């Protein structure tokens, strides 16, 4: 990969050890993917925040970088392993809380905005069409690529952090026009499907291909559920929706394979996700609930009575919760408003064995990352379990 004089200087350690390490990582990535050069990014979003997922090894990596490096572009942070204010109510141990807080402080020392949310595109880090990004968090980066028309590869946490420190990323993959074209057409034959389930059905058949949807017109909230599920069930990082997404071009699908998704496919996907009964935890907000979703949930629950003894989590960002105090008040009568974290990256396995959720993405990770049996319901189905 070609390096400018300034980039060579970073690589030789002239600008400090943290920047040298970051450059080294970018050069290794660039060489693997045969990138010709580095290109400037306008923002980064980082995963690898929960103490549960990065542990002591991750902390050492961050401590080494934080000695003398700083991010060069606006950079936001994925959910951590606990609510920073209500960690005791979540049953988090003092040791976990201490190490988690230290991780967040390392990121802050690097200049990262510790918003701890997987929906930065709703508030703290809003990309625009054509922006070059280095985003980790598969659901957020797929939303940015697809719904916004920004450009990012499916970064890992360390790669995104290195790009943030250097302010650049290797030019390969989804940064190039030729790699952003659709490779399979999805004809949705169900009116107004559950978009999380749709994402599950499509992700599991298309893998890492780029689907081009016909027959749906999702709003932002449905699109984020669709993006999250496809990224988890497959590894979709970019999709097009005819008449909706900025890069969807009907001329680009000539000669492509068509896959029809109807009731039968959605039902099969639903059946595969369900592995349990009688949830001890009922969790909504994967990806984090938006203001509109908080409003919709609060209006559905208004006037209803809480029932059942399962613990209930409404996972959202602190920023979103602050924008809707009335909804927070209503929802708090039915469960906990959990900020900064989610049902996957919090250590829920220490307290629960079965979790119910309306997120296909969460259903993919609950068994493996949280040792949970899973109950999948749509939003109304979950609300019936608690009211
Ligand atoms: Fe977000 Fe956690 Fe789901 S990071 S997308 S709520 S798994």
Compute, in degrees rounded to 10, the torsion defined by CA atoms 74, 227, 285, 127: 20
Note the pLDDT of residue 218: 98
pTM of the predicted model as reported, rounded to 2 decimal places: 0.97
Last residue of a domain, one of 271, 296, 311: 271
Enter the tokens of residue 387.
């009211």
Note whether 120 and 16 are same-domain residues: yes
Residue whose CB lies within 8 A of the most ligand 1 atoms, among 281, 362, 365, 372, for a mutation test = 362
Q: What count of Cα atoms within 13 Å lies in the side-chain half-sphere of residue 55?
A: 2
Note the pLDDT of residue 83: 98
Is 287 near ligand 1, meaning CB less than 6 Å away?
yes
Note whether 119 and 188 are same-domain residues: no
Distance between CA atoms of residues 308 and 261, nearest Å: 35
Whole-number Å distance, alpha carbon 183 to ligand 1 midpoint, is 27
Note the pLDDT of residue 28: 98
- The CA–CA distances, whole Å, from 221 to 141, 163, 228, 290, 350 equal 15, 28, 11, 7, 31
- The CA–CA distances, whole Å, from 193 to 118, 188, 352, 379 equal 23, 9, 30, 13
Q: Which residues of 4-23 are buried (b: 16+ CB within 10 A; e: fewer)?
A: eeebeebbeeebbebbbbbb
Note the pLDDT of residue 357: 98
- The CA–CA distances, whole Å, from 91 to 63, 265, 282, 312, 352 equal 27, 39, 16, 14, 11
Is 118 near ligand 1, meaning CB less than 6 Å away?
yes
Distance between CA atoms of residues 228 and 375, nearest Å: 18
Above pLDDT 90, what percent of the chain? 100
CATH number for 353:
3.30.499.10
pLDDT tens, position by position, 1-13: 999 999 999 999 9
Note whether 192 and 165 are same-domain residues: no
Nearest by Cα to 254 from 174, 180, 177, 183: 183
Note the pLDDT of residue 332: 98
Note whether 239 and 98 are same-domain residues: no
Distance between CA atoms of residues 387 and 384, nearest Å: 5
- The CA–CA distances, whole Å, from 346 to 51, 52, 155, 328 equal 9, 7, 22, 21
Is 211 near ligand 1, meaning CB less than 6 Å away?
no
Note the pLDDT of residue 325: 98
Low-confidence ranges of the chain (pLDDT < 50): none
Last residue of a domain, one of 227, 242, 271: 271
Length of the chain: 387
Note whether 11 and 97 are same-domain residues: yes
Residue whose CB lies within 8 A of the most ligand 1 atoms, among 54, 141, 221, 345, for a mutation test = 345
Domain span including residue 114:
5-176
Note whether 205 and 171 are same-domain residues: no
Residue whose CB lies within 8 A of the most ligand 1 atoms, among 77, 117, 118, for a mutation test = 118
Note whether 151 and 30 are same-domain residues: yes
Distance between CA atoms of residues 139 and 144, nearest Å: 9
Note whether 285 and 370 are same-domain residues: yes
Note whether 218 and 335 are same-domain residues: no
CATH number for 193:
3.50.50
**Ligand 1, atom 2: closest residue by C-alpha:** 342
Last residue of a domain, one of 176, 206, 223: 176
Number of domains the chain contains: 3
Nearest by Cα to 279 from 156, 140, 382: 382
Note whether 120 and 15 are same-domain residues: yes
Residue for token digits 């951590």?
80
Note whether 278 and 135 are same-domain residues: no
- The CA–CA distances, whole Å, from 169 to 28, 193, 293 equal 11, 37, 34
Nearest by Cα to 304 from 336, 334, 327, 335: 334
**Ligand 1, atom 3: closest residue by C-alpha:** 286
Distance between CA atoms of residues 175 and 41, nearest Å: 11
Note whether 121 and 27 are same-domain residues: yes
Note the pLDDT of residue 19: 96
């Amino acid at each position: 990969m070609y390096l400018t004089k300034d980039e060579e200087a970073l690589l030789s350690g002239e600008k400090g050890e943290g920047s040298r390490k970051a450059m080294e990582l970018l050069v290794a990535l660039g060489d693997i993917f045969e990138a010709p050069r580095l290109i400037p990014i306008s923002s980064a979003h980082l995963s690898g925040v929960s103490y549960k997922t990065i542990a002591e090894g991750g902390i050492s990596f961050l401590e080494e970088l934080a000695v003398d490096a700083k991010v060069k572009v606006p950079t936001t942070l994925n959910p951590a392993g606990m609510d920073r204010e209500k960690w005791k109510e979540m049953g988090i141990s003092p040791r976990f809380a201490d190490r988690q807080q230290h991780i967040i402080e390392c990121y802050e020392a690097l200049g990262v905005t510790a918003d701890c949310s997987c929906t930065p595109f709703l508030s703290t880090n809003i990309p625009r069409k054509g922006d070059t990004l280095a985003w980790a968090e598969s659901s957020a980066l797929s939303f940015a690529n697809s719904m916004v028309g920004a450009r990012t590869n499916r970064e890992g946490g360390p790669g995104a952090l290195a790009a943030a420190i250097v302010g650049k990323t290797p030019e390969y993959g989804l940064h190039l026009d030729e790699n952003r074209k659709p490779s399979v057409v999805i004809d949705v034959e169900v009116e107004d499907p559950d978009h999380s389930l749709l994402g599950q059905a499509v992700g599991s058949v298309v893998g890492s291909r780029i689907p081009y949807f016909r027959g749906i017109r999702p709003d932002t909230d449905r699109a984020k559920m669709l993006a999250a599920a496809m990224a988890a069930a497959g590894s979709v990082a970019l999709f097009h929706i005819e008449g909706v997404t900025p890069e969807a071009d009907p001329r680009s699908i000539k000669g492509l394979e068509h896959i029809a998704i109807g009731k039968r496919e959605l039902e099969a996907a639903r059946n595969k996700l369900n592995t349990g009964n009688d949830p001890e935890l009922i969790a909504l907000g994967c990806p984090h609930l938006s203001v509109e979703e908080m409003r919709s949930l609060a209006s559905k629950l208004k006037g209803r009575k809480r029932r059942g003894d399962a613990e209930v989590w409404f996972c959202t960002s602190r920023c979103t919760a602050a924008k809707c105090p009335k909804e927070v008040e209503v929802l708090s009568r039915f469960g906990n408003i959990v900020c900064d974290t989610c049902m996957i990256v919090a250590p829920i396995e220490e307290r629960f064995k079965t979790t119910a959720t309306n997120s296909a993405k969460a259903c993919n990770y609950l068994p493996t990352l949280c040792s949970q049996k899973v109950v999948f319901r749509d939003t109304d189905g979950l609300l019936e379990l608690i009211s």
